[in-house]
Amino acid sequence: MNQVPVARESADFQRYIAEQERKSLLRFLTCGSVDDGKSTLIGRLLYETKMIFEDHFSALERDSRKHGTTGEEVDLALLLDGLEAEREQGITIDVAYRFFTTDKRKFIVADTPGHEQYTRNMATGASTSDLAVLLVDARHGIVTQTRRHAFIVSLLGIRHIVLAVNKIDLVDFDQARFAAIREAFQQLAADFGFASIVSIPLSARYGDNVAEVSPRTPWYHGPSLLDHLQRVDVGDDLARRPFRMCVQWVNRPDLNFRGFAGTVASGSLRPGDEIVVARSGTRSRVERIVTFDGDLDIAEAGTAVTLTLADEIDASRGDVFAKSDDRPEVIDQFAAHLVWMHEDPMLPGRPYLLKCGTRTVSAQVTEIRHKIDVNSFQHLAAKELRLNEVGEVHLGLSEAIAIEPYRQHRETGAFVLIDRFSNATVGAGMVTHGLRRATNVHWQAIDVTREARAQLKHQMAKVAWFTGLSGSGKSTIANIVEKKLHALGKHTFILDGDNVRHGLNRDLGFTDADRVENVRRVAEVARLMTDAGLIVLVSFISPFKAERQLARDLMAAGEFAEVFVDTPIETCEARDSKGLYAKARAGQIRNFTGIDSPYERPEAPEIHIRSNEEALEHAADRVVAWILGRDSADDWVI
Amino acid sequence: MSVDQHSHLKRLEAESIRIMREVAAEFSNPVMLYSIGKDSSVMLHLAMKAFYPSKPPFPVLHVDTTWKFREMIAFRDDIMQRLGLDMIVHVNQEGVAAGVTPFTHGSNYYTHVMKTEGLKQALDKYGFDAAFGGARRDEEKSRAKERIFSFRSANHTWDPKNQRPELWQLYNARVHKGESIRAFPLSNWTELDIWQYILAENIQIVPLYFAKRRPIVERGGMLIMVDDERMQLQPQEKVEERLVRFRTLGCYPLTGAVESSAATLPEIVREMLIARTSERQGRLIDHDESGSMEKKKKEGYF
Ligand SMILES: Nc1nc2c(ncn2[C@@H]2O[C@H](COP(=O)(O)OP(=O)(O)OP(=O)(O)O)[C@@H](O)[C@H]2O)c(=O)[nH]1
Ligand SMILES: [Mg+2]
């Protein structure tokens, strides 16, 4: 194929291209309360830097007539608010990314929503920014949302702030008003550790102090916003930090090549350098730094590379490479700031997936140290974190991973939490520090193993987890099962919801948070009992999928069976052996499963008992058959 | 002209490579959509880099509407053969059987059937759980809102009001059976970046991007190239040879040319610098109504 040849280029052209290439990049966001003028401001910046194409501008004029909030004038916010719903409601819902260039710099700006409901989208925009333009409406001054955004911005490690005191036209360009807001902000941000705060009086709508310093604020002697954005130094020091690289993908085109693909997160690396796999401590030397464009002599932060090593070591996706003189901690418990992003609250003890770097593991919040009131920044006690709440929490992981304080290492210090069932991204976290008990308390190596204990009893330790509505027949069936096993000389134990609540879980109520903790404790006890070699029958309503999964995850495959006692609620209610349904209907009991609290049906239980259709004896035989590892109850009965 | 390690283009390149590797590692059955345009050419080039010395560990899918420029198809077949990639070409045969063409059914309906429905058919047929697309955020205002990993329901719909938060570079790749992710490795590239990169890396692109005298008819204010005999002329229309090029490529009856004498890459980049009209103006579908791109994306269009 003959590409049209690259013609001889003029010196001017060459110079221009080279300049473009050398320009630095600033990523920033606009944030602040709803209607403070964030979208308008970016629209104004795009307009002033001549980034709006003619056809886009005529579309804007048309849109302004239809959806505009500015009367006869064009509504620059409509350049940003690109979703139908946003234009109809006149607010920003999700973050928009826009691009503009000046002689000095390239910019990627994230226009984020001010509405509290969409805080997660604001955090999304902030997470990749190096500077925040925080807007305040000069008429209203600092409001709760200003504080919330300042706080989130600081948590996410943004160190440079522009306080844009907007709509200064609406307060007659009043110097005193500006000064008061600036003072108030400096006070509130005193503890946030920002490296620079530059306050600018602005009118996004009319352009004062946006690109050019305005004659209407003669008392203001600082730079225009654009001027400041072009000059501010947000230089990162990634190059000078210790080397880190998360392995994304193992590259194996044939038997002779095995490379580890990833992007250098910080520091640099040369062929011959010794590296260590953080998790296992295995060492090797870098042989080649492979790229499509040829091998590199040095790989610096931000470069996408494929490393080949001198030795065949065990490493794969999720591993972190470091240098041996400065390795990340490998821990399974740590403290972190957590921003909750989902309508379903975060419940301690509930298992989530945690993704950090390129590794995904199971995680649970073991403790909420406190949540933080975004208005007063006070620490408050909490049993759960709701949508848009921020807390300091302790987390425990299913296995130890390389994880570090976010302030030192973004890539190994940032994580998201994902719901195991809906797959929604439900939380974002920043590690503050590892918890010592994880590194110091090692598991005691025990010589008498769980297998040995079980063998002595001539049985396999297992957990049959009976779940179902109150009155569905869980305990009845579990009792029959236990009698049958006992008769066969098996060592068993029943953990029953009602009984456990009188003792071990006496301190727990029936809120969602308490139900999660209730199940977690019982699952842990069941696990200890199987360690002791016992067959454990757990009879628990356990309404939530997530907690049943948690129990399952504690056990090896094949050692855990979900026994779903599936009885229609009408039948349970008609039986009402404990009179509880009557009380729940009368409103005397709150949060009653099946009445005003949900029961999430198991999707694929090992044993499904439709108690209306199957004799209890037969159902019990099926459970016994599973416990004894026989194929089917019928074989065994015969 | 080669790319300096610390340059803006290198940063963009590294970001795209990282996204591609993430998709390849996390999904069981990804695919790369290939539209034959310049953005697809860049995306393919980046894929060759991301997995080197391996080939990209996924096939390439082209949804053929049967109305692409002939030069595009020739280019496509040639490049796939030279790069040694697996290519799947899918045509919505039901649409063809029903006689849906850009002339008979209007651009909106035609695009829906031959592109959107065709794409869905192909994704369902092969059970792809992730699909790379070459869309950029600077193209259009609803694209400016889209995540890099953009979730699609089992019906391939996009819910712009309820996107997953996407922090740092921690992309959530988890989907249930039937659901999928559209991954956009070029999200943060601008049109100028694309051209500069093509220039710096000497990436092959379809010759239609370069100015040449071509048979053109003016229709609805747009310059349409008469690419084959299926283009029927209205009585008042006449075909003229004009010096034109294309800023964006699609189906020839729906893609407007621009008058230009830019016949080399540097000339194109130079022209870009003074361009006052965005590239998508060259596409008929976006004119149909305001907000039409968002609507198409909600329905599963790329
Ligand atoms: N007078 C005056 N009006 C302004 C100024 N800046 C913004 N406005 C108006 O304030 C209103 C809200 O502006 P937006 O830009 O949509 O506000 P926003 O901060 O993006 O709002 P959300 O994204 O929904 O939080 C619009 O009607 C703007 O025209 C200003 O400097 N002066
Ligand atoms: Mg806005």
Query: Is A250 a residue whose pLDDT tops 90?
Result: yes
Distance from B192 to chain A by nearest Cα, in Å? 10
Residue B274, in any domain of the structure: yes
- Confidence at residue A447, expressed as pLDDT on a 0 to 100 scale: 64
- pLDDT confidence tier of residue A501, bands split at 50, 70 and 90: confident
Do B120 and B39 share a structural domain? yes
ipTM of this predicted structure: 0.88
Query: Is B302 a residue whose pLDDT tops 80?
Result: no
Taking only the tens place, the pLDDT of each residue in B144-167 is 999 999 999 988 888 888 899 999
- Cβ contacts (< 8 Å) between B295 and chain A: which residues? 84
Do B79 and B116 share a structural domain? yes
Q: What is the distance in A from the centroid of ligand 2 to the CA of A91?
A: 6
- Confidence at residue A17, expressed as pLDDT on a 0 to 100 scale: 76
- The mean pLDDT of A216-223, rounded to a whole number, is 96
- Cβ contacts (< 8 Å) between A415 and chain B: which residues? 170
Q: Does B78 contact chain A (CB < 8 Å)?
A: yes
Per CATH, A330-436 and A450-636 having the same topology is answered: no
Mean predicted lDDT score pLDDT of chain A:
88
- Confidence at residue A199, expressed as pLDDT on a 0 to 100 scale: 97
Question: Are B142 and A83 within 8 A, CB to CB?
Answer: yes
- In a mutational test of the B interface, the residue from A20, A156, A291 whose CB has the highest number of chain B CBs within 10 Å is A20
Question: Is A542 tagged catalytic?
Answer: yes
Indicate whether residue A533 lines ligand 1 (CB < 6 A): no
Q: What secondary structure, in 3-state letters, does B38-55 show? A: HHHHHHHHHHHHHCCCCC
- Confidence at residue A4, expressed as pLDDT on a 0 to 100 scale: 39
- Of B17, B167, B176, Cβ closest to residue A123: B167
Element housing A62 (H / E) = helix A54-67
Query: Is A158 a residue whose pLDDT tops 70?
Result: yes
Q: What pTM, to 2 d.p., does this model score?
A: 0.81
Residue B3, in any domain of the structure: no
Taking only the tens place, the pLDDT of each residue in A307-326 is 999 999 989 999 999 998 88
- pLDDT confidence tier of residue A406, bands split at 50, 70 and 90: very high
Which of residues 488 through 547 in chain A touch B, CB cutoff 8 A? none
Amino acid at A14: Q
Do B295 and B278 share a structural domain? no
Do B245 and B156 share a structural domain? no
- Residue with the bigger pLDDT between A562 and A500: it is A562
Determine whether domain A238-323 maps to CATH 1.20.120.1230.
no
Residue B1, in any domain of the structure: no
Residue B12, in any domain of the structure: yes
- Confidence at residue B275, expressed as pLDDT on a 0 to 100 scale: 62
Taking only the tens place, the pLDDT of each residue in B192-232 is 899 889 989 999 999 999 999 999 999 888 899 998 888 88
Tell me the three state secondary structure of residue A12. Answer: helix
Amino acid at B62: H
- Indicate the CATH number of A14-231 among 3.40.50.12280, 3.40.50.300, 3.30.70.980, 2.60.40.10: 3.40.50.300
- Cβ contacts (< 8 Å) between B174 and chain A: which residues? 353, 418, 423
Domain that holds residue B281: 205-286
Fold exhibited by the domain A330-436? Elongation Factor Tu (Ef-tu); domain 3 (2.40.30)
Do B184 and B113 share a structural domain? yes
- The mean pLDDT of A291-303, rounded to a whole number, is 95
Q: Does B275 contact chain A (CB < 8 Å)?
A: yes
Do B123 and B42 share a structural domain? yes
Nearest CA to ligand 1 atom 4: A205
Nearest CA to ligand 1 atom 32: A167
Please, is A583 exposed, middle or buried when counting C-beta atoms within 10 Å of its C-beta (0-12, 13-18, 19+)? middle
Do B240 and B147 share a structural domain? no
- Confidence at residue B179, expressed as pLDDT on a 0 to 100 scale: 93
Query: Can you tell me the distance from the alpha carbon of A112 to that of A178, in angstroms, rounded to the nearest whole number?
Result: 24
- The mean pLDDT of B107-117, rounded to a whole number, is 88
- Confidence at residue B269, expressed as pLDDT on a 0 to 100 scale: 81
- The mean pLDDT of A385-389, rounded to a whole number, is 94
Query: Can you tell me the distance from the alpha carbon of A450 to that of A534, in angstroms, rounded to the nearest whole number?
Result: 9
Query: Is B287 a residue whose pLDDT tops 80?
Result: no
Query: Is A115 a residue whose pLDDT tops 80?
Result: yes
- Which atom of ligand 1 is closest in space to residue A112's alpha carbon? 23
Which of residues 93 through 152 in chain B touch A, CB cutoff 8 A? 137-138, 140-145, 147
Do B213 and B190 share a structural domain? no
Distance from B113 to chain A by nearest Cα, in Å? 23
Query: Is A629 a residue whose pLDDT tops 90?
Result: no
- Confidence at residue B91, expressed as pLDDT on a 0 to 100 scale: 94
Query: Can you tell me the distance from the alpha carbon of A34 to that of A122, in angstroms, rounded to the nearest whole number?
Result: 12
Instruction: Out of A199, A224, A475, A542, pick the active-site residue.
Output: A542
Smallest CA-to-CA distance from A356 within A241, A278, A285, A298 is with A278
Taking only the tens place, the pLDDT of each residue in A73-87 is 888 888 888 888 888
- Confidence at residue B279, expressed as pLDDT on a 0 to 100 scale: 56
> What residues flank ion ligand 2 with Cβ within 5 A?
A 38-39, 92
Residues near A69 by beta carbon (within 8 Å), at least 6 away in sequence: A75, A77, A90
Query: Can you tell me the distance from the alpha carbon of A351 to that of A547, in angstroms, rounded to the nearest whole number?
Result: 7
Taking only the tens place, the pLDDT of each residue in A440-471 is 333 444 467 777 787 777 888 899 999 999 88
Which range (A20-24, A39-43, B80-84) has the least confidence? Answer: A20-24
Indicate whether residue A34 lines ligand 1 (CB < 6 A): yes
Q: Does A251 contact chain B (CB < 8 Å)?
A: yes
Q: Which CATH superfamily is domain A450-636 in?
A: P-loop containing nucleotide triphosphate hydrolases (3.40.50.300)
Do B172 and B274 share a structural domain? no
Residue B200, in any domain of the structure: no
- Residue with the bigger pLDDT between A371 and B271: it is A371
Q: Write down the H helix ranges in A368-435.
A: 410-413
Query: Can you tell me the distance from the alpha carbon of A277 to that of A323, in angstroms, rounded to the nearest whole number?
Result: 9
Considering its fold, how many domains does chain B have in total? 2
Query: Is A265 a residue whose pLDDT tops 90?
Result: yes
- The mean pLDDT of A241-250, rounded to a whole number, is 96
Tell me the three state secondary structure of residue B207. Answer: helix
Do B172 and B89 share a structural domain? yes
Nearest CA to ligand 1 atom 13: A37
- Confidence at residue A110, expressed as pLDDT on a 0 to 100 scale: 95
Do B184 and B84 share a structural domain? yes
- Confidence at residue A394, expressed as pLDDT on a 0 to 100 scale: 95
Residue B53, in any domain of the structure: yes
Q: Does A440 contact chain B (CB < 8 Å)?
A: no
Taking only the tens place, the pLDDT of each residue in B241-270 is 999 999 888 889 888 999 999 999 888 888
Check: CB of residue A146 under 8 Å from CB of residue A33: yes
CATH of the domain at B150: 3.40.50.620
- pLDDT confidence tier of residue A437, bands split at 50, 70 and 90: low
Structure tokens, A224: 């225009």
| Domain ranges for chain A | 14-231, 238-323, 330-436, 450-636
Q: Return the sign of the alpha-carbon dihedral for residues A421, A423, A427, A431.
A: positive
Query: Is A636 a residue whose pLDDT tops 50?
Result: no
- Which atom of ligand 1 is closest in space to residue A91's alpha carbon? 24
Query: Can you tell me the distance from the alpha carbon of A207 to that of A164, in angstroms, rounded to the nearest whole number?
Result: 12
Q: Does A308 contact chain B (CB < 8 Å)?
A: no
Q: What is the distance in A from the centroid of ligand 2 to the CA of B143?
A: 16
Q: Residue count of chain A, please give it.
A: 638
Do B144 and B105 share a structural domain? yes
- The mean pLDDT of A612-619, rounded to a whole number, is 87
Which of residues 38 through 77 in chain A touch B, CB cutoff 8 A? 53-56, 59, 62-63, 66
